Amino acid sequence: MILNKLRDYIDPNDLEIHIYKNGIYIVNYTLISSFDDQKINIDASDKKISIIGKKLVISKLKKDELFISGDIYEVKL
């Protein structure tokens, strides 16, 4: 129990979405289901996320995290 809590604290599995001025930072996603420069669809464990905007670019992509930059208008959960 404590070990699980500790593991979650060090390496959390929950989906996190951080909205910044210049983009959106998503942690613990599963898959980028589709994307173009106006819409990006992302799958997480039990959620689907859509990011709508203009000139969208996945400017950082790693196993568990990604950063989307561009003019973001809408984030749908």
Residues forming contacts to other proteins in the complex (CB under 8 A) are 10-12, 27, 32, 35-37, 55, 57-63, 65
Closest contact distance (angstroms) between CB of 73 and other proteins is: 18
Distance CA 15, CA 46 (A): 9
Q: In the complex with other proteins, which residue's Cβ is closer, 11 or 74?
A: 11
Nearest to 68 by CA among 44, 46, 31, 35: 35
In the three-class reduction of DSSP (H, G, I as helix; E, B as strand; rest coil), residue 64 is classed as coil
In the three-class reduction of DSSP (H, G, I as helix; E, B as strand; rest coil), residue 56 is classed as strand
Closest contact distance (angstroms) between CB of 67 and other proteins is: 9
Closest contact distance (angstroms) between CB of 63 and other proteins is: 7
